[in-house]
Structure 1
Amino acid sequence: MDRVLFGDNQFFGVNHMSEEKARAQQMRFQDLSAIIEVLDAAYAEGIRTFMCTTHDRVAEICEHFRAHPERYPDYQFYPCMPYAHKYANALTEHGMIEALRRFLPDDGAVSAMFKGGVALANKDVEAIMQLLIDAEMKMFRGLRTPVIFIQNVITDLLLGLGMNQCLRIFHDHVRNRYGAEPGFITMNVPKLLDALDSVGVDNPIVCANINKIGFRMCGGIELYEKTIATRRFRPVAMSVLASGAIAPREAIEYVARQPRIESVVFGASSRGNIRQTKALIDELWAARPAEQTPPVETAVA
């Protein structure tokens, strides 16, 4: 994975500290050209990976990149699925069966599966999960997607329900169908690693909040630091600035001190902020001690 990944929260009005700022960003990025301008600024600063949700507007972004392959010869996307709000809205408006029918491919096999609610009656979870993944991936056709993530809203729901095998279904389908690495976003890294160990997923890519004030880190800073230092997985750090609560250099210095963190994902709305954050990550990663690979342990399932 690239060390620096560019996120999409700012484009869709997501800010965990300020609703006012979120609304302002949402208004600013109503026009696709404003989004492309920021992505081009990130590209000019050397960032080649866009880690994005499967929001409906991401399909427009994908169309732009498909239309201009000569401008972005080395660009790649890390899809993060599902975009939960669109499913929640559909469930509220149409009910479970009709909502699933709307999102799944419209072909004879799927229609037959849903006739009379057969799929849900038979609890055909694997088939439904695979079809939903395929439906979400359609917008990325023809683009490079070497890592595909499952969003924390689903990851952590499955953890809470004890449905660990569903995480394995996602893992296997992403690898077998798309030749990609599966990634897992979570608010509870230790619990997720235990669950993945239990279903035989080795050395997973895990994206989670990692910051020096414990912002949205279930279990606390001390447990996270121990987990990062001793467990076998590939950490990706997000919310390193804790939505602006920590100064950039202080925030990235903390993350850089943690062993074996492979990547940092961040969002920004201006080229100046993108340049500053990218430069800090490059500087502080270069200053890391040479030995950053301590012995690892695997939890007993």
Structure 2
Amino acid sequence: MDRLLFGDNQFFGINHMSEEKARAQAMRFQDLDAILEVLQAATQEGIGTFMCTTHDRVGEICKVVKAEPERFPGFTFYPCMPYAHKYANAVTDHGMIGAVTHFMPEDGFLKSALTGGKALAGKDIEGIVKILIDAEMKMFSGLPTPVIFFQNVFVDLLLGMGMHGVFRIFHDHVVEKYRAEPAFITMNMPALLDALEGVGISNPIICSNINKLGFRMCGGFEAYEDTMRNREVRAVAMSVFASGALPPDEAIDWVCGLPNLHSIVFGASSRRNIRSTRELVDRYWRVPEPAHG
């Protein structure tokens, strides 16, 4: 993985500290060209990995990158799925079973089975998970996707329900069908690492909030530090600035000193902010230390 990954929250009106800023960003990035301009700026600043949801607008970005690769040399996607809002809207419109079948192939056996309630009754979770992953991955066909993330809304729901076997299904399908590294996003890295190790997934890629203030770090600040120092995990840090509560210089200096930090994902709306973050990471990045178990 690259040490800096470019995220997509700013493009879709997500800001965990300011609703007003989120609305302004959503209005600005209604225009696809505005999104593409920022992505080009990131690429030109040496950040060519886009960690993104499977939002419909990302599908539009994929089409442009495929049609005009010269604008995005070496551009790589790290899909994060499933996109929770898409499925929540489908549940509202079609009901629980209808939402699942809505994303399945029209002539598929599982769609027919689900319509009749047979798949859920038969606990055919593996087949459902695989088909939904494949549906989400269609927009990335023909594009490099070396790492594929399981989105935190679903990861943490499954974690809380004790359905840890689904993590193994996701892991194996991503490896076998897409020849990619499976990865997981969570609000509770220590608890997820326990669950993943429990189903035989070792040294996983886990993305979670990691910042000096402990902002949205469920499980406790000390538990995160202990996990990163003493266990095998490839950590990806998000919310390193604690949604603007930390000065950038202080935030990057602190997070870059952690062992087993492999990447930082951040969002920015301008070339100036992209360059500023890149320069800070270049200044403070240390070679990650191995875990000591």
1:115 positional shift: 4.0
**Aligned positions of 1:80-119 closer than 5 A:** 80-119=80-119
Map of 1:231 onto structure 2:
231
Aligned residues: CA RMSD: 1.1
Which residue of structure 1 aligns with residue 15 of structure 2?
Answer: 15
The residue type paired with residue 143 of structure 1 is L
| Cα displacement string for residues 237-288 of structure 1 (whole angstroms, at most 9, x for unaligned residues) | 0000011110101000110110120100000001000000011011111xx3
Amino acid at match of 2:289: T
Structure 1 unmatched runs, 5+: none
CA drift at 1:219: 1.9
What's the TM-score once normalised by structure 2's chain length?
A: 0.97
Q: Which residue of 2 aligns with 1:293?
A: 289
Match of 2:249 in 1: 249
1:279 maps to which residue?
Answer: 279
Q: Which amino acid aligns with 1:185?
A: I
TM-score (norm 1): 0.95
Match of 1:220 in 2: 220
Inter-partner Cα distance in structure 1 for 2:155 and 2:108: 30
Q: Is the 8 A contact 2:78 2:148 kept in 1?
A: yes
Match of 1:27 in 2: 27
| Corresponding residue SS for 1:168 | helix
Runs of 4+ in structure 1 off by over 3 angstroms are none
Give how far 1:294 is off.
4.3
8 Å contact 2:77–2:145 — kept in the other structure? yes
* 1:129 matched residue in structure 2: 129
Deviation at 1:123, TM superposition (A): 1.6
Alignment of 1:123-272 (within 5 A): 123-272=123-272
- Aligned to 1:213, the other structure's residue is in SS state coil
Query: Is the Cα–Cα contact under 8 Å of residues 147 and 182 in structure 2 kept in the other structure?
Result: yes
Deviations 1:185-217 (A, max 9, x none): 011111001001110001100001000000000
Q: Provide the C-alpha distance between the structure 2 equivalents of 1:69 and 1:59, rounded to a whole number of angstroms.
A: 15
CA shift at 1:111, angstroms? 3.6
Q: Which amino acid aligns with 2:139?
A: M
Shift of 1:295: 4.4
Which one is further off, 214-223 or 233-242? 214-223
Measure, in 1, the Cα distance between the counterparts of 2:238 and 2:227. Answer: 16
Instruction: Give me the identity figure in percent.
Output: 66
Letter of the aligned partner of 2:84 in structure 1? A
- Tell me the number of residue pairs that the alignment of Structure 1 and Structure 2 aligns: 293
Q: Which residues of structure 2 form unaligned runs of 5+?
A: none
